[in-house]
Amino acid sequence: MANITLTTLNKMKASGEKFSVLTAYDATFSHVVSKAGIEAILVGDSLGMVLQGHDSTLPVTMDTMIYHTECVSRGNQGALLIADMPFMSFASPEMTLINAGKLMAAGANVVKLEGGSWLKETVQQLSRNGVPCCIHLGLTPQSVNVFGGYKVQGRGDAAAQLLADAEQLAEAGAALFVLECVPTPLAKEITKRVNVPVIGIGAGPDTDGQVLVLHDMLGITPGKPARFVKNFLAEADSIPAAIEAFSHAVKSGTYPAEEHGFKE
**In this predicted structure, what is the pLDDT of residue 98?**
97
180 labelled catalytic: yes
Look at residue 1 in the predicted model and tell me its pLDDT.
62
As a whole number of angstroms, the distance between CA 211 and CA 221 comes to 16
Extended beta strands in 48-170, E state: 80-84, 110-114, 133-138
The CA distance from 115 to 121, in Å, is 12
Instruction: State the pLDDT at residue 65.
Output: 98
Q: Are 162 and 138 in contact (CB under 8 A)?
A: yes
The tens place of each residue's pLDDT in the chain, 264 residues long, gives 689 999 999 999 999 999 999 999 999 999 999 999 999 999 999 999 999 999 999 999 999 999 999 999 999 999 999 999 999 999 999 999 999 999 999 999 999 999 999 999 999 999 999 999 999 999 887 776 665 555 678 888 889 999 999 999 999 999 999 999 999 999 999 999 999 999 999 999 999 999 999 999 999 999 999 999 999 999 999 999 999 999 999 999 999 999 999 987
Which ranges of 91-133 would DSSP assign to H, the alpha helix?
A: 93-105, 120-128
136 DSSP β-pair partners: 114, 178
Residues belonging to the binding site for Mg(2+) are: 45, 84, 114
Q: Please tell me the pTM assigned to this model.
A: 0.96
Residue 16: CB atoms within 10 A of its CB come to 7
205 neighbors 198 (Cβ within 8 angstroms): no
User: How far apart are alpha carbons 23 and 115 in whole angstroms?
Assistant: 20
Q: What pLDDT, on the 0 to 100 scale, is given for residue 153?
A: 84
Question: Which residue ranges are tagged as binding site for 3-methyl-2-oxobutanoate?
Answer: 45-46, 84, 112
Q: How far apart are CA 39 and CA 20, in angstroms?
A: 6
Q: What's the burial of 166, exposed, middle or buried (CB within 10 Å: 0-12/13-18/19+)?
A: buried
Rounded CA separation 25/254 (Å): 27
Cis bond before residue 185 (omega within 30° of 0): no
Catalytic residue chosen out of the listed positions 180, 189, 258, 264: 180
Note the pLDDT of residue 146.
Answer: 60
For domain 6-260, which CATH number applies: 3.40.190.10, 3.20.20.60, 1.10.287.70, 2.60.40.1220? 3.20.20.60
- Asked if 99 and 125 touch (Cβ cutoff 8 Å), the reply is no
